[in-house]
Every structure is written in C-alpha cells, then in structure tokens.
Structure 1
C-alpha cells in the first residue's frame, strides 16, 4: 500500500485552514462590491471594514495603516518607490537592500538600477551592519534620503534578521525602513517588526490564508507610500486601484 504523502513546504504555501475556508465562503455568498452605495455594497463594505479591523487588532496597529494588495510581491512594489513618504520627510531617492531578498525586492520596485545598492550578509546569513552604515553614511553625505529593505525571515534558509540594530541605523541616518515579513505572519511575533519598521509587507497564504491577497502596513506616523502602483480607482485610499477581493481579504 502506498504511504500517504506528507506536505512540508509551508514556506511556499501553507494549506488553507478550515476556518479560513468558511469565512471565504460566507463572503462569496454575500457578494456585493464594497464601493457600491446600495445595500449589497454597504454589506460588503462592512465585511471589508471588519476584516481590516481584525487584522489591525492581530497586528496591534490601526486599521487605517493597512493597505490590502493582491500579494506580498505587490505590497513590496507599493513600498519600494522613490518620492515623498510624508510631508515632514525628505523625498527618498535611493534603495538599499540585502543580497538575500525576495525577487520582488531585488527588482527594485520603482527605483532605477543606478539608485539601488545591495549589502552582503555574514556567515550566519544576517545583514552586514558595518556595510549598511557605510552606504547610509555615503548617501547622506551626498544629500540623498534612503529606503532600506530587509526580509524578516528568509524563505530559503529560515534565518531571522535582527531588526532593532538595522532600525537604529536607519533612524540615525534619516532613512526609511521597509521589512518584508511575508514569511513571518502566524509564525513569529510581529511585535518587534512593527516596532522597528516604517513599512511592512505581508501575505496570507504562508499562514494558512488564501493565495491572492497581501497587505502593506504603513506603521510609522505620517509615513505612506508616495503613490499607487496600480492606478485608476480610489480603493485603499487611492493607493491600490481595483475592486477589493473581498473573499480573499476576509480569509
């Protein structure tokens, strides 16, 4: 008799949880467009708002800080843009990332290749802090504000980055700090991530949620992406055009 197959690759996809399936089916049965003003649309909006509130409570952040996207990769692209992230901040003109980031970060988002720099890691797979400080110092001397992007938990090695010292360097050199926490949701405490980062990318399907939904958290006061990557509608405060995938968001 053939032995049953055991699935272990949760870093690629964690099987959908039964409670998630039930919540998604309820959302699909409800129907409605959250942007519509009739009764069905208002019911869908109420369900969307409840999902945002519950995620905010889980992450100990305000619901208004959550921008729903179609994936962690889209959340990364929304975060990685040159421009002004707040009225009291200088415009960001360069991106500094580690050598072990996800491909969606390595691609540089909206930054030109000439505005992107990479920092190596040590033998333990953690960011070289001295090299990061050297690059931050050089950029500040050149009059440039930087955005630093680091993965909290590596999807290949499982290495967890020490975020506090990275955040301290970013603070010292007036740089913004983005953390790709796609592998962290439901597995590690995100309290440290929320305390360290200005922007955090998440995705659902690594933690038993559905494929096709992610989120960008703008956790620092006054910090928000400089513009939309997907344009054409007012959804998600104008930062993510397109009718919300209600069932996936609820899931």
Structure 2
C-alpha cells in the first residue's frame, strides 16, 4: 500500500484532519459524507464496518445516524483519533487495528462494508474488495479517483501519487472480486487539492461551478466516483 509507513506516524495522525478537511476542505468532507449517505440510505440499527477508517470521519457519522459501527485501520495513532471523536460525541464505535486484506471477521458479518479514501492507495484492489465482500451480507461501498479527470494533472504534484481508475478498470476490479455494480455517484470535477488550498468562502464559489458543470452532463469529468456493489 502506498505511504504505509507515513500513514502510521504519530505526526500524520495529528495533522491529518486539519490538513485535509479545514478551509475549503470542509466542502470536500461535506460532499463525501453526502454522497455516502445518498448511496446507502438509512443506517439505523445496521451493522456497519468501515475498512481503513483512519481518524473515524465516516465511522462517527454513521454511528450518530444510528448504525452499530466497527472501524478497522492499520494505524494506531489514526485509530486513537477516532476513539477520541467517538467519546466526544458519546458514541460507542468499536475501533480495531487490523489489515484490510485479512479482516478478523467471519463471512457475512456486516450489513454494509465501506472503504473510503482507500482504493487509490492499494496495489491489489480486487483482493481488498473481495475481502470486504466476504465479511458483508451483501453491499460494499468504495470510492476511486478517476483517470480522464483534472485529477490526472494534480496527481503529478503528489509525492506518492494516487492510483487512478477508468470505468473499465473498476469493472475489472469488480469482476475479479465476484461482485456486481448496483449504483454510483460522481462528484468533484475540480480535484480535492484545490479546495484544500483556498479559504472556505472562496471554495464555495468553485463548488458552485463544479455543481453547474456536472448538472449539464459533466459527470464524466468528475474526479471521484463512489461505487456500490453487492454479492
């Protein structure tokens, strides 16, 4: 996995949320959560697993919406951030350290499994998706950064880069995992890095342009797609 050592450092966990989801990055956070809940619908009373949960950004939101949530990540410092968030909100999220390629759960344990901001880092996405599907009773949600979008240019300036996917690439991953695509959402014509680099007040204007482009058929230019698959 790209950046595995960097990702597990204490300093990375301390700075992660502030670096990625402050300023205009708040709009990225809001957009991702909106896309997720739009895809999965109501989660109250459902058993949900978040793979590569990081600082618990999605886990705590799902728990606050009534789900019984388990979060798994390889980074102890990241998990401790998630524990702190859950405690602050009085939520009972279970955070576990583990490898997403060998999840410590029986088959068909969870109603829903998700992996957000994860597939752009892995070298064997089909293997990870297969493992996520194994522990799900049916549905899995993940996202990809897209080839053919503005992300291609932005990607060149990233120290580690990101794995970019075409629709054909995603279909190959889905087929190799033995699951089927059932739904998708496309978003953010402009790459996330632009939003993070500017104040939220200015980013709102760019977000408006972004929405306008997609409303006239610009989904194919979206830099990120959220996919739902099922067994």
TM-score using structure 1 length:
0.39
Q: Larger Cα Rg: Structure 1 or Structure 2? A: 1
**Structure with greater proportional helix content:** 2
TM-score using structure 2 length:
0.42
Larger RCO, structure (CA 8 Å, separation 6 or more): 1
**Structure with greater proportional strand content:** 2
